[in-house]
Amino acid sequence: MITVPGWAFKFIVPALILWGLYSIVVNVNRSGSAPAKKPAEGDAKDAAADKGPIADSPANALLSVAIGIGVFAYAAPLGLHGSNGEKALQVIKGFARGPIWKGVWESLPIYSYGVMLGLSLVVGWYVVLGLTDRQGLPRDKMADCYVFTAFMAVVGARVLYFLTNLDEFSSPLQILQLRSGGLVAYGGFLGGLLGSAIYLYRNGFSLWKWADAAVPALGSGLMITRLGCYMYGCDFGEPLPARAPAWLKFLGTFPHWHDGHGAPAWQQHVRLGFRATRDVCERAYHGLFNTADGLCHIAPTTEHSVPVHPTQLYESLLGLCIFATLLFMWRRRQWEGQIFITFWIVYGIGRGLLEVIRDDAERGTVGSLSTSQFIAIVSIAVCVPLYLYRRKTAERAAPANLFAPIETPAATPAT
């Protein structure tokens, strides 16, 4: 966790808003001045080049404006009095002069998970657009689809966290406070799938083609974001057995921070406790065994958590393996949708097994299963028959046009 200096944001906020507005104006001018004509054969590359860079697409321009306004509104001081116009003037003056916002900006934390999530989106951008280019899909449309999909993925991840941790929220509006609570990977996958389906359906593109190009980026995203989880100390596993190697215990130990707080693993071991016998609790961990709940609690003065399975690193390795496997399969795929369905099956198996040794309390449950275990089982139960069906229909040369219009060959003119 780091602190962002206030002067940096005073450049970022107006830059985002101005860049977005400039991009929108450029698009409006292009659409209004360019005459509608059918390009001659061989001019496809020139026509594509005239569209300009991806950053000028309307969706990305609007996103820049939204982010800039969102950051501005997030740090705007509360408790201002007067009419709306007077409040707006006070906020603008405070932004320009500094004293009103100084305390807000200097105390703004940047968490490792957020940084790694942003990095994963950048890597995913290049992976997805590179693969869609190879399929001959229009780059500008696929760029807009990626932006909308990423937005819906964050929404889905947040909504699933909200639903599995209702006791943390006193109001549904708190779901918008992204610094309170977290995100759930499966919610992101489902939200992203919904976003892709909406965009592709409205624009008449094949969901299968897009999905095959998009899911390798989910593997790279898992690999990167789980490293962020590890650096923060969330999504940890059960305590390691005494016979575990020293290097694994070292990787699975999370600190008590100097500001009085601690990594989520440390916090849970202090407040909620963990499963251990009285003898192991008192001798190995110097903890206090609570006979009421049968759990061991370490002292708040302890500098580190109990050594646990670093399940964040396990899942990061799983993401790397999925990413490499799907890229290897991509060149050898035999039918549309094969890569997409394979991801859901492989990740479902891997995530379901990892959930057995996960121990963080914020996962939610469905009966005796964790929320992610339940979703993994459902996804496998749906995708295995779907895989067999798609493979069978592909062998019979059945059309695979989900959302995309079926193209019929043009009639050959009589000579």
- How confident is the model over 207-225, as pLDDT tens digits? 999 999 999 999 999 999 9
Angle at 166 between CA 195 and CA 353, to 5 degrees: 70
What pLDDT score was predicted for residue 131? 94
What pLDDT score was predicted for residue 374? 95
Closest CA to 318 of 403, 226, 410: 226
Length of the chain: 415
Q: Is 289 helix (H, G, I), strand (E, B) or coil?
A: strand
CA distance 330 to 265: 38
Both ends of the chain: CA-CA distance in Å?
73
DSSP readout, 298-349? --TT-SBPPPB--HHHHHHHHHHHHHHHHHHHHTT--STTHHHHHHHHHHHH
What pLDDT score was predicted for residue 89? 60
CA distance 389 to 396: 11
CA distance 150 to 139: 16
Exposed, middle or buried: residue 248 (CB in 10 Å: 0-12, 13-18, 19+)?
middle
DSSP readout, 16-78? HHHHHHHHHHHHHHHHHHS---PPPTT-HHHHHHTT--GGGSHHHHHHHHHHHHHHHHHHSPS
DSSP H or E segment with residue 396: none
Question: How many helices (H) and strands (E) are present in the chain, helices listed first?
Answer: 15, 7
What pLDDT score was predicted for residue 331? 87
Query: Which residue ranges of the chain lie beneath pLDDT 70?
Result: 1-110, 178-181, 259-260, 395-415
Residues 131-165 as b or e (16 or more Cβ within 10 Å = b): bbeeeebeebbbbbbbbbbbbbbbbbbbbbbbebb
What pLDDT score was predicted for residue 91? 53
What pLDDT score was predicted for residue 288? 86
Q: Is 236 helix (H, G, I), strand (E, B) or coil?
A: coil
CA distance 192 to 146: 9
pTM of the predicted structure, to 2 decimals: 0.74
